Amino acid sequence: MVEVKICIGTACYVMGGANFLLIKEKLSDKERKKVKLEFVPCLGYCKSGKGKPPFVLINGKIYEKIVDVDALIEIIRENIEK
């Protein structure tokens, strides 16, 4: 199971996180079963200065500056295959 926590805090939201709200529709049924999706408020990374928003936490690892939904799906797929 891949655990995905998508930040929809202010900084992440304006830097592109808003588009991630559509992600469920973009995953196949098979993939959806393997992914636990969760939207969360500010993860705190934006304030730490480490990396740039939008941030997504996947299986405990933080990913930064994810340009769009497709890029996010790509990362999720990689994690499914792992």
Partner 1 sequence: MEKIVEVDFCNVPKHLQKISGDVFQKNIASDNENKVVCTLSDGLGSGVKANVLATLTATMAQQFIMNNMDVRIAANIIRSTLPICSIRKISYSTFTTVNIDSAIELAKVIEFDNPPYFLVRNGKMLNIKKKLVKLEKQKNITRNSLMYSEFKVEFGDRIILFSDGVTQSGMGTKRLPLGWRLEGVKKFILELLEKERDISARRLASLVLKEAMKNDLFVPKDDTTCAVLYYRRARELLVITGPPFDKSKDDYVVERFKEFKGKKVICGGTTAHIISRKLCKPIKINISERSADVPPTSTMEGAELVTEGILTLNKVSNLLKSQEFKSDTSKDGATKLFDMLLNNDCIHFLVGTAVNEAHQDPNMPVELGLRRITVEKIVRLLREVYLKKVLVEYV
Which residues in this chain contact partner 1 in the complex, by CB under 8 A?
Answer: 8-11, 13-15, 18, 21, 39-42, 46-47, 52-53
The residues, any chain, with a CB within 8 Å of residue 21's CB and separated by 6 or more, are 8, 39
**In the complex, least distance from residue 51 CB atom to ligand FES, rounded to whole angstroms:** 9
Does 43 interact with ligand FES (rule: CB under 6 A)?
yes
The residues, any chain, with a CB within 8 Å of residue 20's CB and separated by 6 or more, are 6, 8, 39, 54, 56, 66, 69, 72
Does 20 interact with ligand FES (rule: CB under 6 A)?
no
Q: Which residues bind ligand FES (CB under 6 A)?
A: 7, 9-12, 42-46, 53, 55
